[in-house]
Structure 1
Amino acid sequence: MTVLIVGGSGFLGTELVRQASAAGYVTAATYATRPGSVAEATWYDLDLRDEGRVEEVVASLAPCLIINASSGSADWAVTAEGPIRLAVTAAKHNCRLVHVSSDAVFSGTRVHYDESCLPDPLSPYGAAKAAAETGIRLLAPDAAIARTSLIIGGIQSEHVRLVHDLATGCRTGSLFTDDIRCPVHVGDLAAALLELASTDARGVHHLAGPDAVSRHGLGVLIAQRDGLDASRLPEGLRAATALPGALDVRLDCRATQVKLRTRLRGVHEFL
């Protein structure tokens, strides 16, 4: 069974490639700039804006499963249109598709969001992610869409790097005390995605940790784990900035969690 990890050189993608290879899958992965570090995988360059290249890669591999872990930030052509191209191609070649989405699709107005809640994004990134979800559900209705939150692990995580840089004075900025999410460990998330992919689940699923924490609170936990001085982490209020996006978004993952053997740990446990 061949598994294709799109965005395999990224933080989540690297862990997906590692776990898929360890589980005995024939693993292929794509990259936008340079191949990833997992030697067991076969690497392919792929720009999701290039419809012809998407078709070429999928047709040549004929994977049973495609997991899209790519991230194009607020680039509409990559983050919104790219996954839709991938969904069309996956459906054409009868490939199982699991697409990784984000809690950024929500405004935070209601704070707690389960899988039945409709997207109402406030940021360009959230709007692009919401558009991708809509297109995938329409064009590949058998696909599974997994919304997640802040992905935490080692220093490869952008959130962990930020905490290290702020604590050591390598970067200026602040960690918001009013910006609340439900972080998830990268290993837990990758395992849950692979397990979800092995089922016939379709539609939207939530995969995040059960603990809600502010960005600053998360930073303190990371600093304590890594032996940094947490008192050096500057605090701030997101509400006092012009940054677009929600303040408090908590994914309710209970409906998805009961279907999985993989346990999504809370940040207070894994940190």
Structure 2
Amino acid sequence: MKILVVGGSGFLGDELAQQSATDGHIVAATYLTRPGMAAGVNWLPLDVRDRTAVVDLIGAFSPDVVINAAYRQSDWVTTAVGAAHVAIATSGNGGRLVHVSSDAVFSGKAVTYTEDCVPDPVTPYGAAKAAAEAAVQVISPAAVIARTSLIIGDSGSPHEGLVHSLASGSRDGMLFTDDVRCPVHVCDLAAALLELANTDRAGIHHIAGADAVSRYELGSLIAQRDGFDPARLPFGRRADTDLLGPIDVRLDCALTQRHLKTRLRGAREFVK
């Protein structure tokens, strides 16, 4: 199978590209500034904001599956319009699309969200992700839209880097005790996305970890695993700040998990 990972140089994208190549697929992955690290992958430069470039690249590679993991939190055009460009090009080329979305599409008012919950974002990034979902649903009804949460690995994720910096005292800030998510391991997430790509399933799917944990609890687990003193982590409550964004968002993944062989582990299990 020919697989194209859009946004392949990111933390998730690189894992998707590596797993695809390891499984023996023909793999290409795109990057904006520099290629990723995955071996056995054809790395291609692409700016998803350029509709013509997206159409030309997907037309030339002619993938069976496109997984869109491209986003920039501060850039509406990349996150929302870029997703539409990828959906248009994939649909026009006859490929299957798996679009990666986020729990940022929710406000947190309901706390726990199933796949049929209507997005109610409270941040520009969440609004861009919600707009991308709507565009993909209209352009490519057969696509999978996979909402996920905080992505963690065995090292290398942004949150793990933040924890290390805070624990070593090289960065100011704090981890919130009331900011709750369902962290997912990057390997589990990539495997689940590739598994869904190889099915005829369509629509919204939730792919997140089994445990709802605060950013502070998660940070403490990471610090202990990586040889830092968790007691050195500064903490506080997000509710006591003026930071915009949801506080407690938990993705209910029970329905999706029933259709997956990949087991979505919780952070208390995979961060050891």
Assess if the C-alpha contact under 8 Å between 2:114 and 2:206 holds in 1. Answer: yes
Residues 189-208 of structure 1 aligned to structure 2 (within 5 Å): 189-208=189-208
**Superposition deviation, residue 55 in structure 1:** 0.8
Who is 2:164 aligned against?
A: 164
Change (3 A) 1:105 1:178: same
In 2, Cα distance between equivalents of 1:59 and 1:110 = 42
Residues 154-233 of structure 1 aligned to structure 2 (within 5 Å): 154-233=154-233
**Superposition deviation, residue 155 in structure 1:** 2.8
Q: Deviations over 1:140-177 (max 9, x none)?
A: 10100000000001331000000000000111000011
Assess if the C-alpha contact under 8 Å between 1:91 and 1:140 holds in 2. Answer: yes
Who is 2:139 aligned against?
A: 139
Who is 2:60 aligned against?
A: 60
In 2, Cα distance between equivalents of 1:128 and 1:243 = 18
In 1, Cα distance between equivalents of 2:95 and 2:40 = 22
For 2:99, what is the secondary structure of its paired residue? strand
**Superposition deviation, residue 71 in structure 1:** 2.0
In 2, Cα distance between equivalents of 1:156 and 1:191 = 18
Assess if the C-alpha contact under 8 Å between 1:74 and 1:128 holds in 2. Answer: no
**Residue identity in the other structure for 2:192:** A
Assess if the C-alpha contact under 8 Å between 2:29 and 2:43 holds in 1. Answer: yes
Who is 1:74 aligned against?
A: 74
In 2, Cα distance between equivalents of 1:95 and 1:253 = 26
Q: Deviations over 1:53-110 (max 9, x none)?
A: 1011101000000001112113100001100111011111111000000000000001
Structure 2 gap ranges (5+): none
Assess if the C-alpha contact under 8 Å between 1:149 and 1:181 holds in 2. Answer: yes
Assess if the C-alpha contact under 8 Å between 2:15 and 2:38 holds in 1. Answer: no
In 2, Cα distance between equivalents of 1:130 and 1:123 = 11
In 2, Cα distance between equivalents of 1:270 and 1:155 = 12
Paired residue total: 271
For 1:190, what is the secondary structure of its paired residue? helix
Identity %: 58
**Residue identity in the other structure for 1:5:** V
Who is 1:92 aligned against?
A: 92
Q: Deviations over 1:104-151 (max 9, x none)?
A: 000000100000101000011100000000010011101000000000
**Residue identity in the other structure for 1:145:** I
**Superposition deviation, residue 240 in structure 1:** 1.8
In 2, Cα distance between equivalents of 1:32 and 1:214 = 32
Assess if the C-alpha contact under 8 Å between 2:48 and 2:83 holds in 1. Answer: yes
Assess if the C-alpha contact under 8 Å between 2:18 and 2:39 holds in 1. Answer: no
In 1, Cα distance between equivalents of 2:22 and 2:61 = 20
For 1:146, what is the secondary structure of its paired residue? strand
In 1, Cα distance between equivalents of 2:39 and 2:266 = 31
Structure 1 gap ranges (5+): none
Who is 2:41 aligned against?
A: 41
In 2, Cα distance between equivalents of 1:46 and 1:245 = 30
TM-score by length of 1: 0.99
For 1:216, what is the secondary structure of its paired residue? helix
**Superposition deviation, residue 196 in structure 1:** 0.6
In 1, Cα distance between equivalents of 2:26 and 2:114 = 34
Cα RMSD (Å) of the superposition?
0.7
Who is 1:124 aligned against?
A: 124
Assess if the C-alpha contact under 8 Å between 2:47 and 2:53 holds in 1. Answer: yes
Q: Which runs of 4+ in 1 moved over 3 A?
A: none
In 1, Cα distance between equivalents of 2:196 and 2:228 = 36
